[in-house]
A and B are shown apart, each in its own frame.
Chain A
Amino acid sequence: MSQASQTLPRPWLTGLREAIPLLGGYVPVAISFGLIATQAGFSAWEAVLISTLLYAGAAQFLFVGMVAAGSPLWLVVGMTLLINLRHVVYAPNIAPWLTTSRWWPWLMHGLTDQIFALAHSRLPQMPADRRLGWFTGAALLAWFSWIGGTALGAVAGEELTRRWPLLGEVMPFAMPALFLVLLAPRFTSRRWSLALFSSIAIALLLNVFGLTNAAIPLAAICGAACFYLVRSGTTARGDRNE
């Protein structure tokens, strides 16, 4: 271990600290999930088990909603997996910064949208010997907060939302604020700025119009199209953007 690494706090503690902003988004949403799951007829421990094993926000809401609506189970499984399909691009994107440890494949259970965003920005900036600890701390904090929030929502969700309605509206802003900070350094050229702005705008519009589940993959694909179109345009004119 390098001397510089020795003077830094333990990597898992750094991971824990850097994942704290995620709690602002995870806990209120997990409380909502716990509440909705119990209202849909699941017991508190069943809701907690779903959050522990499935651990995928939008997919869990869909799973519980479709089961409550009496949809065929094959369709429930198919639709839930379809929503989670976007996860396939996450691990390869951070793979160049992962060490050879055998723990990494198991830690992929914690690779949610938010942990991916955090890891994609932070892993390249830290020495290789700190990455496993950092990711473990960040991913476990997020996972436990999701499980804890679900339990809280299943047991006392109604009471909590009645007593502090504003808290549930304010804290989730920590998520977009965090993503904003993670993305800001990536606006390095006109080409990237255009692609990133279009992804943000399209995802926002799709979500406003109720297409929440399709918003992430569709917006990312549109952003990529923008990225390649700008290159084609500038290649045709003989310009350079980067």
Chain B
Amino acid sequence: MSNALWLAMLATALGTLLMRLLPLLWMRRRLARLDGDDDGLDAMPQWLGILGPLMIAAVLGVSLVPTTADATSWLATAIGVAATLAVWWKLRSLGWPVAAGVAAYGVVMLLG
């Protein structure tokens, strides 16, 4: 990589780190200022508290699209989602529903 490219990469890396880090410092200061008046959740702006879970929902939506978007992959996705939710409904745990979902998805892909 050329020097200019190194600089570009470092600037991008630093910018990304600051985008993850500075909002934490801002929120910590806000929490400290409101300490005693509010609990942590009340100190968070309402729109921010709503956006958090919706960001996760959006990441889920993006990740649901299979690598190869053919009929088999979509069927496998639907069955994988159903298996994940069924096991989650029964066990309310984190690991087993994921394992069941991947297994169901894999079986459909193998048979398809």
Contact = CB atoms under 8 A, between A and B. Distances in A.
A136 B42 CA distance: 26
B85 A220 contact: no
A178 B58 CA distance: 13
A50 B9 contact: yes
B20 A81 contact: no
Contacts of B95: 17-18, 20-21
A92 B50 CA distance: 12
A223 B60 CA distance: 13
Given A196-B57, A220-B58, A177 B102 contact: yes
A67 B98 CA distance: 37
Interface in B72-103: 73, 76-77, 80-81, 84-85, 88, 94-95, 97-98, 101-102
Nearest to B100: A177
A178 B63 CA distance: 10
B85 A207 contact: no
B71 interface: no
A201 B1 contact: no
A59 B43 CA distance: 31
A155 interface: no
Contact of A179 (B7, B59, B65): B59
**Chain A interface, >50% SS class:** helix
A160 interface: no
B68 A92 contact: no
B102 A171 contact: yes
A231 to B, nearest CB: 10
Given A203-B58, A220-B57, A177 B97 contact: yes
Interface in B3-40: 4-5, 7-13, 15-17, 19-28, 31, 39-40
B61 A202 contact: yes
A180 B62 contact: no
Contacts of B102: 24, 170-171, 173-174, 177
Nearest to B95: A21
Given A111-B20, A179-B63, A76 B8 contact: yes
Given A174-B102, A178-B98, A77 B16 contact: no
Contacts of A20: 95
A57 to B, nearest CB: 11
Interface of B: 1, 4-5, 7-13, 15-17, 19-28, 31, 39-41, 43-44, 47-69, 73, 76-77, 80-81, 84-85, 88, 94-95, 97-98, 101-102, 105-106, 109-110
23 contacts: A17-B95, A53-B9, A80-B12, A88-B20, A89-B23, A91-B21, A91-B23, A92-B48, A93-B44, A109-B21, A114-B59, A171-B102, A175-B63, A179-B60, A180-B60, A181-B84, A181-B94, A183-B53, A186-B53, A199-B61, A207-B61, A207-B62, A219-B62
Given A181-B84, A181-B88, A216-B62, 18 more contacts: A42-B1, A73-B8, A77-B15, A80-B15, A81-B16, A88-B23, A89-B55, A91-B24, A92-B24, A93-B52, A169-B73, A177-B84, A178-B94, A180-B81, A180-B85, A202-B58, A204-B62, A219-B57
